[in-house]
Amino acid sequence: MSLWTAILVAAAIAFGLKLAGHLVPAHLLDAPRVRRITAALPIALLAALVATQAFTGPGGSFVLDARAAAVAVAVVALLLRAPFIVVVVLGAATAAVLRALGWA
Amino acid sequence: MSPAGAAAASGARRAVVRQALSVGVATGAYGISFGALAVAAGLDTWQAMALSLLMFTGGSQFAFVGIIANGLHAAPAAIAASSMLGIRNGLYALELTHLLGARGPVRVAAAHLTIDESTAVAVAQDDERTSRLGFWVTGLTVFVLWNLTTLAGALIGNLIGDPRTYGLDAAACAAFTALLWPRLRNRDAVAIAVVGAVVAIVLSPTLPPGIPVVTAAAASLLAWHTPRREQP
């Protein structure tokens, strides 16, 4: 699969899901259990993405490096109600500074 | 409508436009980080732009580039993760479709603009006309700014060179943390997040990149049981 194919397939599915919600009769998905699980899906996926992006190294092994420090700083910024872009910039700056200093 | 009622309605319309524009501007700013991360993950500027124009749902886009950064063999996992994150837009659409009352091509446009921000502004309004205005102004503002800032971010990302020097890999971690944060509203949500994270880390050494993330989605099945406060 080429990168372009992957992009177009993923984009088509994303649009298809949006359009389906506008076309499908609402009662089909009205079960509270279905709603709870679909609401929980982004939580599980985003947590898994944080975990793998921040705490795994080559070959998928567990590592603690500059990225873990960046997540810690991001959490502090979020506790202080910093906006998204500030959280992202602080995360990047944390890792960049630690690497420049040779500490991580 | 009485003169007082008309004045209140036009006040509500001005208020929703202000709200929609400020949400749009704030969200547009994420586009810079998305564009920079996309090129750091190996996409070219056109590919980064294609995601923002065609996929147009931030969480899915971040997940897609985060996983595809591992190489093309991770493409199926990247598609699976971005699609699962996109399911919520379909649920938003269920709520919105009656509110908007759009038909034909307008409905297709409404579908494309069905995202977290446009839904949040639309459902927060008291009457249908204000909701519709809020949906369209938010959706269109986010769409325009998200695409412009993706382009800016991709151009900046191309100038930077090795993404690690400026901590762009860590920026992705911070971005996912910031996307997750507002969803951790109760103990059930935190439990699901912890299980998802642990499953992904435990599986990472043995499975190809991206697959542990997709597998960790099963943690959402913890929401199968009824929350205690909802039990009779």
A90 and A47, same structural domain?
yes
Q: Does A103 touch chain B (CB under 8 A)?
A: no
| ipTM of the shown complex | 0.90
Average pLDDT over residues A74-96: 93
Label residue B185 exposed, middle or buried (CB < 10 Å: 0-12, 13-18, 19+): exposed
For the whole model, what pTM was predicted? Answer: 0.84
B40 neighbors B176 (Cβ within 8 angstroms):
no
Among B176, B211, B214, B231, pick the best mutation site for testing chain A contact (most A Cβ within 10 A): B176
Q: List, for residues B141-166, the tens digit of each pLDDT value.
A: 999 999 999 999 999 999 987 778 88
A13 and A52, same structural domain?
no
Residue A35 lies inside a defined structural domain of this protein: no
What's the token pair of residue B109?
């446009």
How many CA atoms lie within 13 Å of B104's alpha carbon, on the beta-carbon side?
0
Residue A63, number of CB atoms within 10 A of its CB: 12
A91 and A63, same structural domain?
yes
A88 and A53, same structural domain?
yes
In chain B, where the domains are located:
3-166, 184-232
User: DSSP letters along chain B, please?
Assistant: --HHHHHHHHHHHHHHHHHHHHHHHHHHHHHHHHHHHHHHTT--HHHHHHIIIII--HHHHHHHHHHHTT-GGGHHHHHHHHHHHHHHHHHHHHHHHHHH---HHHHHHHHHT-SHHHHHHHHTSSSHHHHHHHHHHHHHHHHHHHHHHHHHHHHHHHHH-STTTTTHHHHHHHHHHHHHGGG--SHHHHHHHHHHHHHHHHHTTTS-TTHHHHHHGGGGGGGGSPPGGG--
Q: What does each of the 232 residues of chain B score in pLDDT, given as a tens digit?
A: 566 777 777 888 888 898 888 888 877 767 888 999 999 999 999 999 999 999 999 999 999 999 999 999 999 999 999 999 999 899 889 888 888 988 899 999 999 999 988 998 898 888 899 999 999 999 999 999 999 999 999 999 999 877 788 888 898 899 889 989 998 999 999 999 999 999 999 999 999 888 999 899 889 888 888 676 554 4
User: Cβ separation of A56 and B193 shorter than 8 Å?
Assistant: no
B96 neighbors B135 (Cβ within 8 angstroms):
yes
B84 neighbors A41 (Cβ within 8 angstroms):
yes
The pLDDT value recorded for residue B1 is 57
Chain A contacts in chain B segment 122-181 (CB below 8 A): 164-181
First to last CA, chain B: 44
A15 and A51, same structural domain?
no
**Closest Cβ opposite residue B173 in set A8, A50, A85:** A50
A24 and A49, same structural domain?
no
Average pLDDT over residues A3-20: 97
A17 and A55, same structural domain?
no
What's the whole-number average pLDDT of chain A? 91
A90 and A58, same structural domain?
yes
A55 and A23, same structural domain?
no
> Angle of helix B3-40 relative to helix B116-123, nearest 10 degrees?
160
Q: Which residues in chain A are contacts of B23 at CB distance < 8 A?
A: none
Residue A38 lies inside a defined structural domain of this protein: no
CA-based nearest residue to B172, from A24, A22, A67:
A67
Residue A1 lies inside a defined structural domain of this protein: yes
Number of domains, chain A = 2
* DSSP code for A56: B
Vertex B138, ends B136 and B139: CA angle to 5°? 65
**pLDDT bucket at A61, cuts 50 / 70 / 90:** very high
A82 and A52, same structural domain?
yes
Q: Which residues are CB-contacts of B30 (< 8 A; sequence separation ≥ 6)? A: A84, A85, A88, B58, B146, B149, B175
Range of the domain at A87: 43-101
User: Cβ separation of A43 and B192 shorter than 8 Å?
Assistant: yes
Among A1, A13, A35, A52, pick the best mutation site for testing chain B contact (most B Cβ within 10 A): A52
Nearest Cα of chain B lies from the Cα of A58 at a distance, in angstroms, of 9
The pLDDT value recorded for residue B232 is 44
Nearest Cα of chain B lies from the Cα of A76 at a distance, in angstroms, of 11
